[in-house]
Amino acid sequence: MKSLRNLIYSMLTILIFGSSVSKAQIPSVKVGIYDFVDNTASEFYVLAPTVIFGYDVWKRSQLDLEMSVGLSFNRTRYNSHYHNLYMVPFMATVYYNLPNPGAKLWPSIGMGTSLLWKADYNRDFDKTHYSIAYGFHATGILNIPLNGDLLLTFQMTYNLLIPPVTEEVNLSGMILTVGLSFPAKHVDQ
């Protein structure tokens, strides 16, 4: 696992610093849901509404590097009190834009590393429980050009997280979002 992580970080470093020209300046805003795949998490939390802000920080040929941060929130009633879950996902994703010349759909596939900060607040306990989980994710995007410089984006991401301790609820899940990207005029698709 450690060697795989080192390999991924080395490849990302080469991709980022291997080119002197960076053309990407593509901010995006996406909203959707975080669907938990672990049985315990999916029974207790069900779904969490999510908003994600992303920014393509690097582009070379058909590859993009996007850094994104988001917020997921879930409120569940448990033992006559509300149980609040706040999640802040940080993701670094390398995308490969599939060649599709002249088409009205621009698909991309990608993978990267994830970091998830979590805060559990429950009135039954004296304090809020904080934790950080890390992991990997795979994603697929379908971009549809709209009038002007906007792209309508449909994204599906599988987020595989490793809990910090075995007693922790596994928050791995599927993130389904729809949103808008604002590509710079000089970025070619």
Give residue limits of the domains in the chain. 2-181
What is the rounded CA–CA span in Å between residue 146 and residue 124? 49
Per-residue tokens: 99: 């060649």
β-bridge mates for residue 115, sequence order: 90, 134
Check residue 148 and give its pLDDT. 72
Q: What is the pLDDT of residues 96-138, one digit of tens each?
A: 999 877 788 889 999 999 999 988 877 666 677 788 999 999 9
Q: Please give the pLDDT value at position 186.
A: 42
Segments in the chain below pLDDT 50: 19-23, 186-189
Angle, CA 107 vertex, CA 103 and CA 110 arms, to 5°:
160
Q: State the pTM of this model.
A: 0.79
Helix, strand, or coil (residue 91): strand
Task: Indicate the class that CATH gives domain 2-181.
Answer: mainly beta
Predicted pLDDT of residue 1: 60
Confidence (pLDDT) at 174: 95
> With left for phi above 0 and alpha for psi between -120 and 50, is residue 41 left, alpha or beta?
alpha
pLDDT given for residue 173 in this prediction: 93
CA distances from 19 to 16, 84, 86, 98 (A): 7, 44, 38, 21
Residue 41 main-chain phi, psi, to 5 deg: -65, -40
